[in-house]
Chain A
Amino acid sequence: MPLDLSVPASLVTALLPDLIVMGGAMALLLWGVWRPEGASGRPVGVGAIGVCLAALAAIAGMAVQGITAGPGPIAIDNFRWATDAVILVGTILSIALADDYGRRAEPVAVESHALTLLAASGMMLLAGARDLILVFLGIEVMSVAVYVLAGINRRSARSAEAALKYFLLGAFSTAFLLYGVALVYGATGATNLTAIGSALAASPPGPGSMAVIGLALMLVGFAFKVAAAPFHMWTPDVYDGAPTPFTAFMAAAVKAAAFASFARVFMEGFGPVFVRWHSVLWWLAALTMVLGNLIALSQRNLKRMLAYSSIAHAGYLLVALVTNTTEGAAAMVFYLFAYTLATVGAFAVVMALAEGAERPQDVREWSGLFSVRPLLAIAMAVFMLALLGFPLAGGMGFFAKWYLLQAALKAPAPQTRLAVLLVITSVISAGYYLYVIMVMFMRPRPADAAPFPDTPAWTRSVIVGAAVLLLALGLYPSPIVRWARSSSLQPTTATGVPSTPEALRITAR
């Protein structure tokens, strides 16, 4: 059932999941403010999760009905639904963590749930946006909410510092993005990605310098949002300083949304000038993988280590982008799903073991964790192995890397060297992922070590749920991947039409 997006009612239908989340966020905000001061935030948290589940149901319904859309500002394809699902799962897990966080020691205002939902709605807009104005809108809705979330712990100086840094640098990079949008509009006269694609394909001698510089500036803006080197500098500081539930939210959902939009803009809009951005992105991917993994090796602070780990994973995901194929996009979404579960799970364990107040946690404090908290240690081992891409015990993580490598090697322009670098840097990453496992399982627990706090119920559910989901989907991952591949994002070719992989292969020859 194709929707005609020029009809307002159809446009509303196309945006139904996003509107559910947006409306839910506003309703919850009002409810939260109306409630007496000091009341438990849990009902609001439950409501927020309910809103996410409703959005998920809407997505499932639309995906099952096979609704499609013609060219317009909003894309309706499985790539969008899959990305939305990843974002919503990440959001649900983060809300659950934030609720426990608020109850435990650091009073976090109930508005945080509404803000999380608002950020999620921006992300979902990003995932479907096929118009540069909508892309910008999505990025801003997402970013402004996340800036606030990073600093929501008003009593913590580190949290405030993180928020301010994120805001300043984020504004700086948004300026690049916005200037890029303006230049691209100036060169092509369009903000719609399809129109931009045909315009770029039509210009006979190749794109003019205005379009090219616009493209480069947008690339910088996206690279900042996904934390690709050398635009990653904010990441460790912000991740370390922000309250852990929102660090998990940033590392998982923000990255997923930014990557989805990055992929859609560059594959659909700038697909015809693939040769212009291909090698820059190649180098960004390589640099990000190497730098992220190498610096992660020397980190002993768990949150900083996970921050560099997330930078490294941005590098792996850029490899999918460099392939510029439908398979690459599908592999990217699958990877984001596995990465989201593992990262949120890992941050959840970090949060569970932090005593009340936020303070930097050293890995070595976890010595002998297995002997006192065996289940947490096992779950953390699963998350670490998943991030490493270890088969079986790492669940989905292995297949995520596997599909990524397959996409890289089977692309019309095979990215063999990048795939080799991906494997090598993954091996390097074993140095810090396995170190955590080694410390937990093989080091004795010092006799004078302080006891760990009890794990709150929701946090426990998040940890168990993420680990079980990772392992279960690791046993039978192929249906998800097949679904993500079908009716997905399709790169525009030099002829200006969305191409099939076969057509791409012919043009590559």
Chain B
Amino acid sequence: MMLALLQAAAEASPAAHPLAGTVAEYVWMLPLLPLLGFVINGLLSIVPAYHAGPEDVSHDPEAGHTDMAHEEAYEAEATTFHRRWNALSSVVGPLVVGIAFVLAAAIFLAMRAAGPSLETAGAFVRTYGSWMPAGELRINWGLQLDQLSMLMTLIITGVGTLIHLFSIGYMRTDPGYSRYFAYLNLFVCFMLVLVLGGSYPVLFVGWEGVGLCSYLLIGFWFSDESNANAGKKAFIVNRVGDFGFLVAMFLLWANLGTLDYAGVDAAATRLVANGALVTAICLFLFLGCAGKSAQLPLYIWLPDAMAGPTPVSALIHAATMVTAGVYLIARSGALFALAPFASLLVALTGALTALFAATIGLKQWDIKKVLAYSTVSQLGYMFVAAGVGAYSAAVFHLATHAFFKALLFLGAGSVIYALHEAYHHTHREEDAQDMRNMGGLRRHMPVTWALMWAATLAIAGVPVFSGFFSKDQILGAVYGAARHSAIGELRLLGIPGSAILYGIYVLGLVTALITAIYMTRMMLYTFHGANRTGEGERPHLHEAPWIMTGPLAVLGVLTVFGGWLNLPAVLHALGPEALLDRWLAPVVARASATLAGGEVAHLSHATEYALIGAAVAVSVLGIGFAVVRYRGPLLAKREAEAAETGLGAAVRQAYYVDRGIGRYLVEPTIALSRKVLWRGLDVGLIDGVIVNGSAALMRGVAWAGARIQTGNVGNYAWIVAVGALVVIGAVAFR
């Protein structure tokens, strides 16, 4: 009935979009579903709190940063009442995201059914009311559905559903269970607003919203100060990026007079290509992306963000939110296509970040830190692709990375869960995330082991696994751009752009090598060799429940076969080629072609085979090196090797970046704030002179007032008489 009405309405409009009247009309339900979940779970988190007392009554601050530290506190007060509410959260939390995924899939099928007509029709935009009408500024609550936002929606809701399911097991015993699902639902809602928003300001709503949820979830166990600080750090560092994003929006509005995508795409032609203005807009946009997607130099918040629960790291800090920057650049392709210089900087930043973070990953002991730096590094790859104009390659890697990195994080969560349970049994305070406490877990958790190896091979770029295809496409695109593109014709500091692009290609290869090494190292330390957990704990090590391994298995399938989304032309024997490229072409092809200098360069088959060969060789080499280097006595050792010096120590400490920022940025700022702004300006000038001074003045006035306010009627009458004389004089002699 409703559909029929909508159909009728669509037929009545003159230029009906092919999606008009289809299930795509329900696009507004996508963000509202998780919002509903947020409301329900939020209420659930408040209601029992009144019955069962405060949540963190008996939290033990000594438990360190272990994820599951609250179990004991919880079990003491757990009531059947509590569990009943939790069961409701377990249903509502994943269900709303699951329904959103089903709806997204239905819309996807409708888009497929619309066929080629969709490619020329442009985006499907629906407006739901006016948000900021101010003078000429018209910003509407509009959602935009096109191939790019559809893909992102599928990833967010699909991977999101799996991670919600995993969380049921992982957070099972947490006192803040409903609050956790409330935040996670809210995150999905804002993430969908981010990708479905039809204009930059609406995107920004989602952008800030996911930032808020990220903050809330990083500091989820806020009673531990370091967790709360990690949340604050993420929030504050992202302010720097948001400043850039805002400036970019102001510039767009001031110069183009529009902020919705359709308007910007149309008006972008008015901008001077290669001009200072469009370059500035793109660079400010990229500053926003660098903050949200943890690129140099704003990556510092992401490793600390691992303080949150591990499924949060999987969903927010690996699969979805941190890729928002990549999405934004792909979305703004029309602008970046006009600013090759900005694009080159994007690619260069991405390549340097990829290498930089990968080297740090080599020396980490915390399993989640390894994955965090690995995420930063992989995001760097995506920016390399976006920088050279290979937007579909960037989005392809975004998708495969969402699969394998979510799998890696959830697998790591599974491992941490097992270790935590074991330590919980023996009541020992050990770090369940330190790989030095792991080893030999293959025998105890074979499913996790096998699935994580699949993900490791994927991220390392071993053929057939999904990561291989996406990474290969990026490297191929860089190589192609170096051979011939608008970027290659630039000069940066006198160096030809093409030379820089060749350099980026080499950096990419080196990063691939290092990636293979540190990932293999992580797997060896975690799953192979002798077990270092402890004699007492060993019998308690076991595989996680099915609610956790189930989602892992699904992600495992996607990790292995995700590459089929976008097979390269040379491997057409495996299946239909370049599905994703063709799907995204209506959105990004024009921008890609412009940046490529006319047409995207096609490499000869021989070159492609050579590139694939190099990539495969590098990954196999890396895995082999790691096996040789970390095998043997090291694997059995309980404690760390002797203190390192020089470069090794530097890498272990993440190049002292945090310490340096602390010493040269944070401390001087605090000192400035304390000595000059607080003691000098605030206490001295404002409090001392202005506030106390005016207070002293006030006391003077009050004193004078008190002198006059004698309470003596005669005095009052005198004042009235004198006042009257003054008034008469003023009126008469005017």
Enumerate chain A interface residues (CB-CB to B < 8 A). 164-165, 168-169, 172-173, 176, 209, 212-213, 215-217, 219-220, 223-224, 230-231, 233-234, 236-237, 275-277, 279-280, 283-284, 291, 294-295, 297-298
Contact = CB atoms under 8 A, between A and B. Distances in A.
A66 B663 CA distance: 76
Contacts of A217: 724, 728
Contact of B720 (A172, A215, A279, A283): A172
B704 to A, nearest CB: 9
Tell me what chain A mostly uses at the interface: helix, strand, loop, or mixed: helix
Nearest to A172: B717
Contact of B727 (A165, A173, A220, A237): A220
B427 interface: no
Given A168-B717, A233-B708, A233-B715, 18 more contacts: A169-B716, A173-B720, A212-B732, A216-B727, A216-B731, A216-B732, A219-B727, A224-B720, A230-B719, A231-B719, A234-B716, A236-B709, A279-B734, A280-B730, A294-B701, A297-B698, A298-B699, A298-B702
A362 to B, nearest CB: 16
B717 to A, nearest CB: 6
Interface in B673-711: 698-699, 701-702, 705, 708-709, 711
A299 to B, nearest CB: 8
B5 interface: no
A291 B732 CA distance: 25
Nearest to A295: B705
A60 B722 CA distance: 44
Contacts of A173: 720
Contact of A215 (B708, B709, B722, B731): B731
Nearest to A161: B711
A295 B702 contact: yes
B632 to A, nearest CB: 65
Contacts of B734: 275-276, 279-280
B267 to A, nearest CB: 36
B723 interface: yes
B713 interface: yes
A277 B731 contact: yes
Contact of A212 (B716, B720, B731): B731
Given A216-B732, A217-B724, A295 B719 contact: no
Nearest to A169: B716
Contact of A169 (B713, B722, B724): B713
Nearest to A428: B694
Residue from B701, B713, B730, B731 with most neighbouring chain A CB atoms (10 Å): B731
B732 A213 contact: yes
B731 A168 contact: no
Contact of B711 (A176, A219, A220, A237): A237
Contacts of A237: 709, 711
Residue from B698, B713, B719, B734 with most neighbouring chain A CB atoms (10 Å): B713
A79 to B, nearest CB: 25
Contact of B698 (A176, A230, A298): A298
B720 A231 contact: yes
A58 to B, nearest CB: 38
Contacts of B716: 165, 169, 233-234
B611 to A, nearest CB: 63
A164 B415 CA distance: 87
A237 B731 CA distance: 30
B484 to A, nearest CB: 60
Contacts of B720: 169, 172-173, 220, 224, 230-231, 233
A382 B145 CA distance: 46
Contacts of B728: 213, 216-217, 220
Contact of A168 (B699, B708, B713): B713
Contact of B709 (A176, A213, A233, A294): A233
B68 to A, nearest CB: 38
A220 B724 CA distance: 6
Contact of B723 (A165, A213, A230, A236): A230
5 contacts: A213-B728, A213-B731, A280-B731, A295-B702, A298-B702
Given A236-B709, A237-B711, A295-B701, A209 B730 contact: no
A12 B511 CA distance: 98
A295 B699 CA distance: 9
Nearest to A284: B727
Contacts of A276: 731, 734
A323 to B, nearest CB: 18
Contacts of B713: 164-165, 168-169
A164 to B, nearest CB: 8
A339 B117 CA distance: 65
Nearest to A164: B713
B701 to A, nearest CB: 5
A233 B701 contact: no
B727 A280 contact: yes
A295 B709 CA distance: 11
Interface string B18-59: 000000000000000000000000000000000000000000
Contacts of B731: 212-213, 215-216, 219, 276-277, 280
Contacts of A224: 720
Contacts of B705: 291, 295, 298
Contacts of B722: 230
A168 B458 CA distance: 97
Contacts of A234: 716
Nearest to B723: A230
Contacts of A291: 705
Nearest to A277: B731
Given A168-B713, A294-B701, A176 B732 contact: no
A284 B730 CA distance: 11
A165 B713 CA distance: 6
A165 B711 CA distance: 9
Residue from B719, B722, B727, B730 with most neighbouring chain A CB atoms (10 Å): B727
Interface string B601-619: 0000000000000000000
A184 to B, nearest CB: 12
A100 B338 CA distance: 77
A209 B732 CA distance: 7
A59 B307 CA distance: 68
Residue from A168, A216, A276 with most neighbouring chain B CB atoms (10 Å): A216
Contacts of A277: 731
Contacts of A284: 727
Contacts of B730: 216, 279-280, 283
A165 B699 CA distance: 26
Nearest to B697: A294
B702 A169 contact: no
Interface string B283-304: 0000000000000000000000
Nearest to A236: B709
A196 to B, nearest CB: 16
A173 B717 CA distance: 9
Contacts of B732: 209, 212-213, 216
A217 B727 CA distance: 8
Contacts of A223: 723, 727
A172 B713 CA distance: 11
Residue from A164, A233, A295 with most neighbouring chain B CB atoms (10 Å): A233
